Amino acid sequence: MRVIGGERGFSARLENIRSAAGTLRNLGESAGDVVRASPRPPGVGSLLDSPLTWAKVEHACAEFFMRTRGLGDSLTKLGAQAQLAAAGYEAADSAAHRAQQFGSWAAGWGLGVAVRVTAPVWAVPAAIAALTAAGWTAAADGLVTLITGRSPELGKKAMAAARGIFEQAVADNTGAFSRVLDSGLSGFGTGLLGLPPLPPIIDAMRAGPLTRSLAKTGEARGAFPTEPPEVRSHAAAAGGSPRSLSGLYERQVAAHSGRENGRVRVDAVRGQDGKKRYIVYVPATTDWSVKGGRNTTDTATNVQTMAERESAMRHVVKTAIRESGIQPEDEIMLVGYSQGGIVAASLAADPEFRKQARVRQVVTVGSPVGRFDVGNTKVLSIEQDRDVVPALDGTDNPDKRTWTTIIADSPPVDSPLGAHSSEAYTEVIRDLERSRQPDIVQFSKDNRDFLGGTVEESREYEGVRQEK
């Protein structure tokens, strides 16, 4: 298991070092103030009255001033050294990150150049070999079918085996896959197209800009609808009140499980302090159609939200909050799995949305959300080391005191893609709670107002696009 950010993260430690450095400098300055404000030793008149006493006082005062001034200078120097150490740690971490990015970009660029330069040599033989292999496979399949009366489907099995090998390789190296999607893909595209390696071109081919380009293209061609969907409200049984992270997650899964179109659920929670707060559950993807249809929890919502554009589910969540009577001063917790986490983080990063809703906590499970700047909003992200979906944004989640990411060991699953299943994450979250993982324990303490209250009212909201 690996933890990024939070109270024990790298950024939090740097903040602690800088805070300690400031304290030391202040103490050093205070020591100097003490010396300057202290009364001076007795004058010459005291020397004539009592020479021995005057000498003792003079010696004591001189020693006090010298030691205090020395202590102040030492504290000030120590504070400056701590500040320099923090700056050094930060610079080293940034340099290591840039080196990783450059290495990935350079490898991608080299591969792209190699493909472009050698394509005339290997492209035709490779195509012939592929067609020959396909032909022999089809012939063998036909022969076996003729003899036995049953098709062994050799071609399909070969493709399935190749896909399994690829999925396994990606699942075993999700960190490298994330870097490939960002810097490596940028380098490969630059090298393959023979473009000059200039910063604007390199940046334009990174994961974020490419996603935005894909969203704009999809919208321009009508594949990704831009008109707001109709939002339908449904009554929902309040049920039990969640008392833990696993309780929140199980309630969130119910928002989409077994449905063709997921629903946003809004729970009004009365805390032990008598104050009403709200938990908003955002559903996951239920429809993988490339072209947007009636269902709003679909691929179009994924791409548009990742591209930081308005999407159908962002509209549904905002409508649900407004129609639930939530006021700007009311505290909200957003909970989302997969697509739901993307939508939740994108809203928390939206300045206009933050003016209308006071988001106190965001919980994401298995979601690629590292590119969203949520400010100081508290975030808890749960991921798995073999789940490739959180790596699809091409970056790690930020290392911030207010954002804790727990990358847990994946439980045994039937296939690499099984690590992204809601069942796998249910097991992971329960294991974290059973082991009393410190960040999970702290999350429960910080959100006792939400987890210790009573659900008084629940409603569900479904977005439906009008088919053209």
Q: In which domain, by residue range, is 38 found? A: 10-102
Q: pLDDT at position 23, please? A: 87
pLDDT digits (tens, 9 = 90+) for 351-365: 999 999 999 999 999
Q: pLDDT at position 349, please? A: 96
AA identity, residue 381: S
Strands, sheet with 331-337, edge to edge from the N-terminal-most edge strand: 2-5, 403-408, 378-384, 358-365, 331-337, 276-282, 264-270, 454-464, 230-236
Give pLDDT tens digits along the chain (468 positions). 889 998 888 788 778 888 888 888 888 888 777 767 766 666 555 555 667 776 777 777 777 777 887 888 888 888 888 888 888 888 887 888 788 778 888 888 898 899 889 988 877 777 777 667 666 666 666 666 667 766 666 556 666 565 666 666 655 666 666 666 677 778 888 888 888 877 777 776 666 777 888 888 888 888 899 999 999 999 888 777 899 999 999 999 988 888 899 999 999 999 988 999 999 999 999 998 888 899 999 999 999 999 999 999 999 999 999 999 999 999 999 999 999 999 999 999 999 999 999 999 999 999 999 999 999 999 999 999 989 899 888 888 999 999 999 999 988 877 767 889 999 999 999 999 999 999 999 999 999 999 988 999 999 999 999 876
- CA-only gyration radius of the chain, Å: 31
Is residue 401 located within the same domain as residue 343?
A: yes
Q: Determine, yes or no, domain membership for 285.
A: yes
Is residue 314 located within the same domain as residue 384?
A: yes
pTM of the shown model: 0.81
The last residue of a domain, from among 78, 102, 126 = 102
Measured between alpha carbons, how far is 20 from 13 in angstroms, rounded to an integer? 10
The last residue of a domain, from among 198, 219, 240 = 219
Is residue 268 located within the same domain as residue 390?
A: yes
Q: pLDDT at position 425, please? A: 96
**Number of other CB atoms surrounding residue 40 within 10 Å:** 7
Contacts of 347 (CB under 8 A, 6+ apart): 314, 317, 318, 334, 353, 357, 359
Q: Determine, yes or no, domain membership for 5.
A: no
Is residue 73 located within the same domain as residue 130?
A: no
Measured between alpha carbons, how far is 400 from 196 in angstroms, rounded to an integer? 35
Q: How many domains is the chain built from?
A: 3
Q: Determine, yes or no, domain membership for 47.
A: yes
Q: Determine, yes or no, domain membership for 2.
A: no
The last residue of a domain, from among 53, 82, 102 = 102
Measured between alpha carbons, how far is 47 from 58 in angstroms, rounded to an integer? 10
Measured between alpha carbons, how far is 106 from 456 in angstroms, rounded to an integer? 57
First to last CA, the chain: 48
In this structure, what are the phi and psi dihedrals at residue 98, rounded to the nearest 5 degrees? Answer: -65, -35
Q: What is the largest CA-CA distance in the chain?
A: 128
